[in-house]
Structure 1
């Protein structure tokens, strides 16, 4: 863990604690897991929504800095990421539907298997969007980012240069290990609503990556239009 990553002393132990909890509850067979911790609008879901929103704020701040520095490609990536995490945060709590108590509109009532105001519960015929687009496809994309890019960043200068130019946050090895471990545990445990905890774990890891990426030099100098990272790639050997 980097010495300048104080929040990781909170975020990453929480990831480890949730992975451990999944294993423990798998063997305990208690109702506490799916009736209290991972229940709809429960601690795990609300924590996920809050963490996703904090990630939105971090990315939006980076986007503003890159905009002031005149780095349009980096600004565009950060702005897109911010929008995605804002959307994910809203989707997690169905945009406040159950808080305010409004009824879903006719479109969502007829096309959602949960009759909630969100997109991830929509269905086309009998096919649930959450299992296709927001399940397998999204999981593959996230694993390529969280694990694939992490492993090749320092080994392939062209990839490192591209990631730095576009300001793509690169996960550290600690993030990749935790994601792989969590994915393996999720695949093996038999628990109702286990995916709520997986989303919580992802939100913790994602925030840690955005705060302390492997290519932190790119974001630390975002305020400068002509930073050293633009003149010399991060992977260039020192003399």
Structure 2
């Protein structure tokens, strides 16, 4: 379902890449469908990781390091969620403080658009880290783990997981296609949304039903796993619908 959602959004971007720029701005602009989808996915991921953290605390065999790693990731993803929509600034119609008006590339109340050199913190630093980390986590380590199972064991010892290549490869291909097929100044938002959906699906798959995961998942039974997976697939489709409605309510812009 995660792959299907991403394919649908890419198809929508291609279909809306016509002579009328308003449609594509509705998809990729500030408070657009893609941006709200990122926020919703990050929010759910943070909640899932927090839930897993609490469950690991209750397990006597859980290490302190893995609990700290899961809790830290939950907080980091929650920060990414509110940063994505500038801490609800536009929703609440709050004016940016003077510091952000002077130092933020978009005059918004967020950290990732702070000026760094000729660009922003996001473009000059964060985006490069995301690309490097994403390639290592989704391609290099999973490929190494196929011939060296100890790699997966080592990663999971720290409370983390490796996405299955069946999910990672389509995700990376879709990111590449979004850059090749779409001509828009904010086309990078597509890749970011693809990553948010991909990680939402793989976080659920690993920790909750044990997809490509060696440790016991939260739903270990086959029947329970199938039922909760069906509900999760419905949730992904619902998140896309909600993001569409939110973009209409707040009003996507070309800023």
The structural deviation recorded for 1:35 is: 2.6
The answer on 1:129 being equivalent to 2:126 is no
Partner residue of 2:217 out of 209, 216, 220:
220
1:98-113 to 2 correspondence within 5 Å?
Answer: 98-113=90-105
The answer on 1:201 being equivalent to 2:194 is yes
Match of residue 20 from structure 1: 11
The answer on 1:145 being equivalent to 2:137 is yes
Cα RMSD (Å) of the superposition?
A: 2.1
Runs of 4+ in structure 1 over 6 Å off: none
Q: CA separation in 2, counterparts of 1:42 and 1:50?
A: 12
The structural deviation recorded for 1:22 is: 3.8
Q: CA separation in 2, counterparts of 1:64 and 1:222?
A: 15
Match of residue 211 from structure 1: 204
Q: CA separation in 1, counterparts of 2:153 and 2:41?
A: 29
CA-to-aligned-CA distance 1:23-66 (integer Å, 9 cap, x gap): 4445x344144332222112221121011100001111111111
CA-to-aligned-CA distance 1:148-201 (integer Å, 9 cap, x gap): 222222321331221121121211122211222122113323223212222221
CA-to-aligned-CA distance 1:110-157 (integer Å, 9 cap, x gap): 111111111110013433212111222221112211222222223213
TM-score by length of 2: 0.76
Match of residue 51 from structure 1: 41
TM-score by length of 1: 0.81
Q: Give the conservation status (yes or no) of the 8 Å contact 2:13–2:24.
A: no
1:43-192 to 2 correspondence within 5 Å?
Answer: 43-69=33-59, 70-188=62-180, 189-192=182-185
The structural deviation recorded for 1:222 is: 10
Q: CA separation in 2, counterparts of 1:86 and 1:19?
A: 25
Q: CA separation in 2, counterparts of 1:30 and 1:166?
A: 49
Greater shift in the superposed pair: 81-90 or 37-46? 37-46
Q: Which has the higher helix share?
A: 2
More RCO (CA 8 Å, sep 6+): 2
Q: Give the conservation status (yes or no) of the 8 Å contact 2:116–2:124.
A: no
The structural deviation recorded for 1:204 is: 0.7
Q: Give the conservation status (yes or no) of the 8 Å contact 1:22–1:194.
A: no
Q: Which structure 2 residue ranges, 5 or more long, are not aligned?
A: 221-255
Match of residue 2 from structure 2: 11
Q: Give the conservation status (yes or no) of the 8 Å contact 1:67–1:75.
A: yes
